[in-house]
Chain A
Amino acid sequence: MRWLGVAFAVVAATASAQGADAGPPPASLDITFAQVAGGPGAPSVPKEYPELATPPFNTYPHYEVASTKTVSLPVTVKVTETLVDGSSFEATLVDVPAAKVDIVVKDSTGATLSKGRYTVPPKTAKPATLYPISVPYKNGNLVVAVSRL
């Protein structure tokens, strides 16, 4: 009986310690950041990005994914990705619940190509992918595709 009481106290102390250390979950947005290169060739678009077969992207019939990665956007922290053409893509999460992201694209010389506050659509939306910009690349273009992870 004595040790039962001691066990009570130990369990209670452990639970209180865990409760004290646990805090609110971090605020961030995880996205898939893809660069899709377009150009002449047989009509083909990646199945993840069917919108590339529609205007204005169907200017180039053939698209292939040049790069794709998962990026975590902490709130109010600017995250910079380099595009395959040398441009820079800057994203800053400013509104976690609404998934609003400030996006700034600059060319290789640092000149701003576009700037705006975008809402990353939820996975259930149609379309579920955000295409903020298309820049010249090789003999075609390079499209940036952003979607929620």
Chain B
Amino acid sequence: MIAANDADDGGMPPAPPGRPPDPATLDLMAYIDGELPPQRVAEIERRLADDPIYAGKLRGLLAVSEFVRDDADRVYGNAQVDGIADQVMARLGRASAPPSAILPLSSVATRRRKNSIIWVSFGVVAAAAAALFLYVRAHDQEQKTANAPAPPQTVAVKTTETPPSKSPATAIEEEAKQRVEGLEVGEGATVIYRSDSTPVVWVTKKDETKDQKSPKK
């Protein structure tokens, strides 16, 4: 059905193209087509009895409907479409088509869902990339550690002949020698070997102090 004008105008001139019909007009159109439930039909009939403007709107819609049915051949005689109904439905489709700028709610919701999925996917990919980067770097560090050059070798210490020690070369001395490598002492110093301990270099300088004692063994 061609949509009528607003209810306050009595529904006389047709609605401008591209403007959707108001809910009251839709109800009347459904009422004319017999598509309403009985309860709704009763409500509309009560309103028609009380509201003359609403009744005028109905009369306008009925007039349009009769015009389409009775004068269809005269108006659309040269139409190339298969039938009058197809012409009318085609014009109704163009008239009721929503503006291209307004998207249906379902499309908006779908787009929002798609955007959310895209952002979450981006975050997951970024997290996976970072985890892969950390793993590779840790693996590289392990490789470097495994291939790291050996620590510097012990510097060879040339052992000079130490002054003859008063204590005999016993097992204690041999064990103590293992606790210190390449021990060298200067003039006036004595190496004292102790069991289960590192040898002590005991320095004495007789010319400095008369009370300087010899170490106890």
Interface residue ranges, A against B (CB under 8 Å)? 1-9, 11-13, 15-16, 19-20, 24, 51, 54-60, 76, 94-96, 100, 102, 105, 111-119, 126-127, 130-136, 139
Known contacts: A55-B217, A56-B216. The answer to whether A5 contacts B130 by CB under 8 A is no
The answer to whether B203 and A113 touch across the interface, beta carbons within 8 angstroms, is: yes
Assess whether B157 is interfacial by the CB under 8 Å rule: yes
Q: Which residues of A contact B202 (CB under 8 A)?
A: 56, 133-134
The answer to whether B186 and A114 touch across the interface, beta carbons within 8 angstroms, is: yes
What 8 A-B pairs have minimum CB-CB distances, sorted nearest first? Answer: A5-B123, A8-B123, A12-B130, A1-B116, A56-B215, A2-B119, A5-B119, A9-B126
Considering the chains assembled together, what is the distance between the CA atoms of A131 and B215 in angstroms?
Answer: 14
| CB contact between A113 and one of B121, B189, B200 (< 8 Å): that residue | B189
Instruction: Name the residue on B nearest A13 (C-beta).
Output: B130
A and B contact pairs by CB, cutoff 8 A, 27 listed: A2-B116, A3-B119, A4-B120, A9-B126, A9-B127, A12-B126, A16-B133, A19-B134, A56-B216, A59-B213, A59-B216, A100-B181, A102-B155, A112-B184, A113-B186, A113-B201, A115-B184, A116-B157, A116-B181, A119-B180, A127-B197, A133-B201, A134-B202, A136-B205, A136-B208, A136-B212, A139-B209
Looking at the assembled complex, report how far the CB atom of A92 sits from the nearest CB atom of chain B, in whole angstroms. 10
**Interface on chain B toward A: helix, strand, loop, or mixed SS?**
mixed
Considering the chains assembled together, what is the distance between the CA atoms of A64 and B155 in angstroms?
Answer: 36
Q: Which residues of A contact B124 (CB under 8 A)?
A: 5, 8
Chain B contact residues (Cβ within 8 angstroms of A): what range? 35 or more
Looking at the assembled complex, report how far the CB atom of A133 sits from the nearest CB atom of chain B, in whole angstroms. 4
| CB contact between A118 and one of B117, B179, B186, B196 (< 8 Å): that residue | B179
Q: Which residues of A contact B198 (CB under 8 A)?
A: 118-119, 130-132
Looking at the assembled complex, report how far the CB atom of A119 sits from the nearest CB atom of chain B, in whole angstroms. 6
The answer to whether B151 and A96 touch across the interface, beta carbons within 8 angstroms, is: yes
Report B19-40 residues with CB < 8 Å from chain A CB.
Answer: none
Assess whether B214 is interfacial by the CB under 8 Å rule: yes
1/0 per residue, CB under 8 A from A, across B85-112: the answer is 0000000000000000000000000000
The answer to whether B120 and A59 touch across the interface, beta carbons within 8 angstroms, is: no
Report B30-82 residues with CB < 8 Å from chain A CB.
Answer: none
The answer to whether B127 and A139 touch across the interface, beta carbons within 8 angstroms, is: no
Q: Which residues of B contact A139 (CB under 8 A)?
A: 209, 211
